[in-house]
Amino acid sequence: MKVIVLDNYDEVCKKAAEIIGDTVKNKRDAFLGLATGGSAEKVYDYLVEEYENGNLDFSLCSTINLDEYVSLPSSHPQSYRKYMDDRFFSRVNIDKNNTYVPVGVGNVKEEILKLKNLMEEKGGTDLQLLGVGSNGHIAFNEPGDKLNASISIVDLNEETIKANSRYFNSIDDVPRQAVSLGIGDILKSKKIILVAFGEGKKRAIEELLTNDYINTNIPCTLLKAHRDVTVIIDRCIAEGMNL
C-alpha cells in the first residue's frame, strides 16, 4: 500500500485530483468510481480547475458513485446526485447520461439491479476514489460481522447518522438507510485512492496502515486485499504513527 502524507486538506485533495487526472489522460474513456462527503469536495474543485485550464477532457468518461441515501430524491439538497451535479458533473464536459449515482427513491430494487448489471458489464472501475468514515466504513459498508460484496440497501449506523447530521437541519432528518456499492465492487477497481484528513479519521487509518489484520468491523481494512491502493492523508492523521 502506498501512503502519501501531505500538509493539509487542500494538498490531499490536489494530489487525489492529480491521480484522477492522470487516469483520464491515459484513458480518455475511463470509468471512474466517485465518492461524495466532505473529504472529496475539494478534489472536484481541482478537477474542474484542470478542466477549465484545458488540461482535462471528460467527454468520453463514465462514472459511478459509491452511494445515495434511501428516500432522498435527486432534487434534495443533501442527495448525492445533487452533490455530484453541483460540484462536478455540471461544471465539466461529461455526458450526464454516463454518470451513474445509485437511486434511493422509486423502484430502488430495480435501480440496484441496473447498476449491478452495469458493474458486471464493465468489470469494475478504472479508478476508485474513497473517503472513510470515522468508524472505518467505505462507501456505506458499515462495521459488522458480514459485509456486502455488491450493491445493496444498507442500514446506516448511529456513528454515521450522527456524523452526517452536520449537513441536515436535525439528526432526525438524516435517512437511516442508503444504497451502497459493496466491498467487492470497490475491490474490483483497477486502482484505489483513499483520501482522509483530521483527527477523527486517525483510528480507521491507523487500523488500515499499521497492522496486518483484515477486520470486517473496520471495513477499510479490506483494502489490504487490493494490489493498488494509495492512501493520501494529512500530517494530523499521520502524527505519531509508525509509517
Residues labelled as active-site residues:
67, 135, 137, 142
Q: Is 133 in the site for ligand F6R (CB under 6 A)?
A: yes
Region from 21-29, 34-42, 96-104, 226-234 binding ligand F6R, contact rule CB under 6 A: 34-42
CB nearer to ligand F6R: pick between 60 and 124: 124
Q: Is 17 in the site for ligand F6R (CB under 6 A)?
A: no
* Separation of alpha carbons 219 and 140, rounded Å: 10
Q: How far is the CB of 53 from ligand F6R (least distance, A)?
A: 26
Which listed residue (36, 128, 152, 221) binds ligand F6R by CB under 6 A?
Answer: 36
* Separation of alpha carbons 66 and 10, rounded Å: 22
Region from 29-37, 49-57, 149-157, 218-226 binding ligand F6R, contact rule CB under 6 A: 29-37
Region from 10-18, 133-141, 213-221, 227-235 binding ligand F6R, contact rule CB under 6 A: 133-141
CB nearer to ligand F6R: pick between 30 and 66: 66
Q: What binding mask, one character per residue, do residues 135-174 give for ligand F6R by CB under 6 A, x or -?
A: --xxxx----------------------------------
- Candidates 135, 14, 115, 10; CA nearest to 65 is 115
Residues of this chain that interact with ligand F6R (CB under 6 A) are 35-39, 66-67, 131-133, 137-140
